[in-house]
Every structure is written in structure tokens, then in C-alpha cells.
Structure 1
Amino acid sequence: MTEAVTEQESDAMVEEPEQAPPAGPSLHQPRRWLIAAGEAVVIVLLVVFAVWCWNRGVVRLEYPFEGREPLISTRYHGNWLGTAVGAATLAVVLALDAVRQVLLAVRTRPQKAADSDM
């Protein structure tokens, strides 16, 4: 047997209000300029480090001969050259992220202007 729904049961079913999405950090924040500036400093340091490593990885040797021009050979140290390539690659990745940070910082709008567009 089924029973009819009484008024007490229908009062118990109250609709809950919709919850607003949590207010998290937005993409457009002016402090991104500081992050981009920090990354620019790290990029410069990585490039200097890469050049230093590359110069240590290439050794030129000169063997003198009597009556002839000296024999010049070049020796490559893979560990230094690999470190230089890794540092340069990391510098490029940080440069891309620095550009992204700057673009997000430039596109920052005041909250009133953002609300009036909606």
C-alpha cells in the first residue's frame, strides 16, 4: 500500500540555496611582474653559467713541431657540454614562462571594470 504525502513530509524537503564557487586566485594578478622579474634574473644567471660550462668543455691543445706549424687539436668534455645545453634549455623554458607571466600581468583589470563588463 502506498500512502499519500502529508504536509509534514513536504515541509521537510527544503531546497538548499546554490553555493557560489569558491573564490580562488584569478589568473590576472599584478604580482606576476615580480615573478617575471625574478625569472629574468635567473635566466641571466643560467646563460652566464651555460657559457662558462661550454668554455670549460672545449679544450684546444697545441703540439709544436720543429720547422712546421703546430698541430692543433680540440678535445670535447661531454659532461661540461651537456651541463651547458641543460642550463640553456632551462633558460629558454623560463623565458617562455616569464613572457606568459608578463602577459597575464599586463592584462590585469581593476575589479570594477571587470564587473561592469558582465
Structure 2
Amino acid sequence: MTEAVTEPESETVVEEPEPAPPAGPSLHQPKRWLIAAGEVVAIVLLTWAAVWCWNRGIVKLAYPVDGREPLISTRYHGNWLGTAAGAATLAVILALDAVRQVVLALRTRPQKAAEADV
């Protein structure tokens, strides 16, 4: 039978792990209040734009008829209604993000303060 060839054991050098890179920006950032305030302004503007577009998208037409009440019809303009729906959707998404920004600005404490409480 043949013998298995083994290599001589070499000395292994254990290297110490590199220190962790500094952590990125923490979640608690007071500037999140400014971002949330800007989003609230955008929400108000988008809501106003959605209502304005919706009102332009629905047109009532009245046709007078002799001796009877006028015939009233409603015309819908899809481009204005679609723009209103898009503006309202964007306002809702910004509202969710504004709530997220406020919660992150309020609830997360810096790491040193969290360790001091322990």
C-alpha cells in the first residue's frame, strides 16, 4: 500500500481582526424634523393640486329645453382626474414618510445615552 503524503505542519499566524469601521450616521438626527416639515408643506400643496385638478376634471353641462327642466349631463376629463389621483397618491406616500421621519427624530436616542441607562 502507498502511504499518504502529508505536508509538515507549519506555524499558523493568527491575525487579529481589523477594527470595525466607524458606524455610519445614526438614526437619531435632528435634521429629520426639517425633512418632515418640508414633506408636510409638499403634502399640503399636493392636496390642493389634487382638489383643483379634480374640480377641473368634472364639467356639468346644461341644455335648456322649452317648457321643461334643462337636461344636465356630466363630462369627465380623464387627464385631469388622473393627475388628481396621482397627486393624491404622492401626498399619501409623503405623509407616510413624514410620520417615519418624525418617529425616527423622536424615539431613537444616541448610543451613549442608551448605554448610560443600562
Q: TM-score range by the shorter chain?
A: 0.7 to 0.9
1:43-58 pair list within 5 angstroms: 43-58=43-58
The CA distance in 2 between the partners of 1:96 and 1:4, in whole Å, is 61
Q: Quick one: structure 1 residues 4 and 25, their matched pair in 2 at CA, closer, same or farther if it must change by over 3 Å?
A: closer
- State the superposition RMSD in angstroms: 2.0
Shifted more, 44-53 versus 19-28: the winner is 19-28
> Is the CA contact 2:28–2:110 (under 8 Å) kept in the aligned structure 1?
no
Corresponding position of 2:3: none
Letter in 2 for 1:69: E
Amino acid at match of 2:107: R
| Deviation for aligned residue 1:114 | 1.9
Shift of 1:27: 1.6
* Alignment of 1:70 onto 2:70: yes
Q: When the two structures are aligned, how many residues end up with a matched partner? A: 113
Length-normalised TM-score, structure 1? 0.83
Identity of aligned residues (%): 77
Please, what TM-score do these two structures have when normalized by structure 2? 0.83
**Counterpart of 2:32 in structure 1: which amino acid?**
R
Please list every run of 5 or more consecutive structure 1 residues that lacks an aligned counterpart in the other structure.
none
Q: Secondary structure at the match of 1:113?
A: helix
Match of 2:112 in 1: 112
**Aligned equivalent of 1:90:** 90
Q: How many angstroms apart in 2 are the aligned matches of 1:81 and 1:97?
A: 25
Partners of 2:9 and 2:57 in 1: how far apart? 88
Query: 1:23 aligns to what?
Result: 23
